[in-house]
Structure 1
Amino acid sequence: MKLTTPQPARHPNPTTKASALAYLIFDRPDLEKAEWFLNDFGLRTVSRSESLLLLRGTAASHFCYVVRKAAKPQFAGFGLRIDNRAGLDALATLPGASKVERSPLPGGGYTVQLTDPSGFRVDAIWGQAPAGTLAHRAPLAFNSVDTAVRINGTQRPPERAPEIIRLGHVVLELADYQQTCAWYTQHFGFIASDVQVLPDGSPAVAFMRLDLGDEPSDHHTLALAQGFAPTYSHSAYEVVDADAVGMGQRILRDKGWTHAWGIGRHILGSQIFDYWQDPWGDKHEHYCDGDLFTADAPTGIHAVSREAMAQWGPTMPRSFTKPRFTPASVAALLRNLRRSPDLTLSKLRTLAKLFA
């Protein structure tokens, strides 16, 4: 397979390099309902007021999920942690960027607020105070055909919501794929681990990792997919092992939440996964056992298909990628077909044939 477009490609001298996905920001009309789902999913409440809900995992982060009270439910954006003040100052010089400001959220630090070419808010954050970790259960020990590690013992994972360790990645759909992908590689140093392409060689999905040099990084922290309008696809949260993924499915099913896809193992990234919808239909993924790459690993190019999304488990259901057609989304489709160089009727037909 061959990529026939300029992006995704490594930038030789990015403005700065992101070192972590810090948090996601959602607007919700009902904070209580949002908290109910997220607690059942395994996130822990840090604080809740009439206008703001913050949640975290067990990893060393003050919070990883921000919910703002708002009339319209939507995904607003996310925060990227960077490791030096010089990078923050450089980002503040970009068109449309805010000044460097103190963060009012737990952990403090300094932020620059930007807007990517697709309209998503991106907070660059530096200088947060260190955060402590929370206790979580150890991974279960497995007896294999070659090695017995558990004699005269049993496996009994606790029957409760799985402990989210950390926020792992976020996936966005875009109309302006080339411009948006270039913005993240140029200004935050993202590297494409794998790219899935359409028959014409244009990208359908790019799985982007952080450039941490010789330090291993998740296969993807940000994934960008060609769509007809900018929208949130899903976010993913690491749990300690496959039993936590399975227990999460049992707990969420018993609580009456809506299942989206799983359990299975991805091909690109290799995660064992399970997806669930929150009260507004937005997908949240439990995962474990993801791939890790250093900066020198090359980009893989692969054909895209529904079957190429998982090694085992159910084939990705068509409902998983089915767009939500509303008057606003139809208007966005027509508008983007006229103005976006990345969107054509032919490409839409191809995507619909593959996924719709």
Structure 2
Amino acid sequence: MNGIALSTPQPARHESPTVKAQSLAYLIFERTDLDKAREFLTDFGLQVVKQTESELYLRGKDSAPFCYRVLRGEQNRFAGLAFRVAVRDDLIALSKLPGATAPCAVDYPGGGEMITLTDPSGFHVEVIFGQEQVEPLAYRPALPLNYDERPRINETQRPAIAPAEILRLGHVVLEVADFQATCGWYTRHLGLIPSDVQVLNDGSPAVTFLRLDLGDQPADHHTLAMAQGVMPVYSHSAYEVVDADAVGMGQRVLREKGWKHAWGIGRHILGSQIFDYWQDPWGDKHEHYCDGDLFTADKPTGIHPVSREAMSQWGQVMPASFTKPKITGEAIKAIVHSLRHSPDLTLKKLITLAKIFG
């Protein structure tokens, strides 16, 4: 545990979770302009599956029928996340939780049955079973590096100038005020396991990286990451590409298209991904990444001190703008509410977080 002890019970794996989710299925956003959303997301590297007057579905290159759903709405916001389960009994078990809906068929691409839940921070969570997978799409292989066997003699390295080819949705990061209850909900009901935790000086968790429990099958270092914040908000989502050249070419294309850069390129310490972050038209961050860590269920949790410098091995130190909240009247009300009602947020902790990340 790196000589650091947690002062609070979460994050911790649950001995007998309700179910063990098998994957992060898709994310849901509301947007006032579907065409503008489509423009950014296709420049980012996702591919359109279906678009109507009210909905937009996009996919990566893997066998998931879609990984990104956009609903036309009156506001621009993150609207929820979805997990996939392996058997229908898991869906039935989750449907018995307080506030859960009964299983129902869906008309999303791929079909299947779904229930909806609400986590303790108010995030909308869908759980889907029986979704039909689709034929994976071809993508360029990782470029060979010219060392050891020297595979490239009298040849050059010239990847196409094109949007990064998104292989799949990797993870989503959320900020919450009620950290203990929310983190405990995902470990208890969806079987997520903490891979690494970054803690404040008092030992309380600041960020936890949660992975799927797939037993002996390797899982991404994190599928859901959760940060102690001042209110429940979306931080960013991440999409895997084949290699560092894809990350770099994605940056070139997005920069030439005029989109706003957020942070990168660099390599994370926890998770090890080579990363690059971009903002969509509404300021929501989307990450290209490659070369992430994979853990089996028996890998123990690591505990580490938190700092902006601890977020990357090389590259730019995480800029303050990356985590700076949007200060609006609603945000101020939410912060005041959290200080009054959240057992995990105090004025002292708020000041500490502001010093680290503000």
TM-score category by the smaller chain?
over 0.9
User: 2:17 maps to what in 1?
Assistant: 14
Residue 18 of structure 1 aligns to a residue whose secondary structure is: coil
User: 1:74 maps to what in 2?
Assistant: 77
Q: After superposition, what is the alpha-carbon deviation per residue over 1:282-309, rounded to whole angstroms, capped at 9, x for unaligned?
A: 0000000000000000000000000000
Residue 121 of structure 2 aligns to a residue whose secondary structure is: coil
Q: Distance in 2 between matches of 1:93 and 1:348?
A: 36
Residue 209 of structure 2 aligns to a residue whose secondary structure is: strand
User: 2:227 maps to what in 1?
Assistant: 225
User: 1:330 maps to what in 2?
Assistant: 332
Residue 332 of structure 1 aligns to a residue whose secondary structure is: helix
Matched, 1:162 2:164: yes
Give TM-score scaled by structure 2 length. Answer: 0.99
When the two structures are aligned, how many residues end up with a matched partner? 355
* TM superposition shift of 1:135: 0.8
Q: Distance in 1 between matches of 2:56 and 2:131?
A: 19
Q: Which amino acid aligns with 1:119?
A: G
Matched, 1:92 2:88: no
* TM superposition shift of 1:103: 1.4
Q: Distance in 2 between matches of 1:352 and 1:2?
A: 23
Q: Which amino acid aligns with 2:281?
A: P
Q: Using the TM superposition, name which of 235-244 and 121-130 deviates more.
A: 121-130
User: 1:315 maps to what in 2?
Assistant: 317
Q: Which amino acid aligns with 1:241?
A: D
Residue 179 of structure 1 aligns to a residue whose secondary structure is: helix
Q: Distance in 2 between matches of 1:264 and 1:147?
A: 27
User: 1:255 maps to what in 2?
Assistant: 257
Q: Which amino acid aligns with 1:327?
A: G
Give TM-score scaled by structure 1 length. Answer: 0.99
Q: Distance in 1 between matches of 2:322 and 2:280?
A: 14
User: 2:39 maps to what in 1?
Assistant: 36
User: 1:285 maps to what in 2?
Assistant: 287
Residue 248 of structure 1 aligns to a residue whose secondary structure is: helix
Residue 299 of structure 2 aligns to a residue whose secondary structure is: coil
Q: Distance in 2 between matches of 1:278 and 1:324?
A: 15
Q: Distance in 1 between matches of 2:325 and 2:141?
A: 39
Q: After superposition, what is the alpha-carbon deviation per residue over 1:179-237, rounded to whole angstroms, capped at 9, x for unaligned?
A: 00000000000000000000000000000000000000000000000000000000000
User: 1:204 maps to what in 2?
Assistant: 206
Residue 256 of structure 1 aligns to a residue whose secondary structure is: coil
Q: Distance in 1 between matches of 2:207 and 2:26?
A: 22
* TM superposition shift of 1:147: 3.4
Q: Distance in 1 between matches of 2:203 and 2:85?
A: 33
User: 1:131 maps to what in 2?
Assistant: 134
User: 2:145 maps to what in 1?
Assistant: 142
* TM superposition shift of 1:150: 1.4
Q: Which amino acid aligns with 2:341?
A: R
Q: After superposition, what is the alpha-carbon deviation per residue over 1:65-118, rounded to whole angstroms, capped at 9, x for unaligned?
A: 000000100001111001011110000000000001111101111111001000
Q: Distance in 1 between matches of 2:5 and 2:146?
A: 42
Query: Structure 1: which 4+ aligned runs deviate by more than 4 Å?
Result: none
RMSD between aligned alpha carbons?
0.6
**Structure 1 spans left out of the alignment, 5+ residues:** none
Q: Distance in 1 between matches of 2:150 and 2:91?
A: 51
State the identity as a percent.
65
Q: Which amino acid aligns with 1:45?
A: V
Q: Distance in 1 between matches of 2:24 and 2:133?
A: 16
- State how 1:166-185 maps to structure 2 within 5 Å: 166-185=168-187
